[in-house]
Chain A
């Protein structure tokens, strides 16, 4: 068995691609909130927590839904054996600014809880009953080498059986999401820095 990228999902420019195939394209002038709601609706299951999330978490959540589909990772590998390694550039700054705008008037606890980038990891763990190792890193740009090495180590040292690598960035209406699932199986794209970089830039 090899350590492979078994599936991946890219959301950018109001387009969603799963394993290289386009599953949704919307007009560029559509507000992000409407675009992400349309994407959410494509997955049939109602999940009311979605509507409480900030934009960054909605983006991460929708990407994870498309990535995992009916894949029950927690059941397959054990809740504690699934890891999440995520990163972005702007942390939760988009929501930080929105929260701070409420401070002088009436500070919003519903917004404050989203002023941490790792909340998206919590949302994905709750949705998928994942209890394994999670980490959120900040980079100036997507760091294929670091994420590839870290995921490889987690699997090689038996600290995880499956890893979701995520890049979920959102600030001032600019956004970019790339998620991929790393597993040990015979089918998939070999997990290398080059392959990760290539899938991210497609």
Chain B
């Protein structure tokens, strides 16, 4: 491949500067600040701070509550990613086969994407509320005493359901366009070779969808880890109590509710490292095994 050449040395730099500035101001500078303050203990009003070394980190490691939150985050991420990908794939495969009224179906399946997470959380609160929730009533009719905000598992259930509900349409859109970009001749040839729909899906369609699926996997993991904040916040209703929460929400609770800047910074650094590992994993390990056309 022929390499592009630039005669001006300054022009590319000048063109990059706006982007670099934004990254520096909104990422590098705060990230550096977080790393720095994670080694200090500060009084809330910022009158003084003292160097405490690794104490903020060892505290996390020794905190059974932090470990409980970490375990929940892991399970929550697995459930949300698994269900929203699985459900979206199923819907996309079925919607792909629909011919009459296809657009209407697709739009109906996609519109939820437009609901913002806090709004989704509020809808969740309305549906799962102990006193007025419709789903709570449904559970009661089935003989189950559903208690949002009281029972740990019940609250976790609401969080997973709302998070999956809001993420599925995004996955659906990607899966559907992935399915539609599979060349028709390949599918037709497969149809001649094997009449079993499931085997054709397993051997032909799914491998061809793999790049999309992999991309979505990463997107969904980051969604479950970070973007579910609004949903969790509205479901927790300003009362962390014994409710389940994710690591990101814990950063917020300790830093912005509890005013412990050092401890909260250490938690964000832990998350930063986690994202770094995820990114390395994405590019080093999996990208090689996936064939993009």
A binds B: no
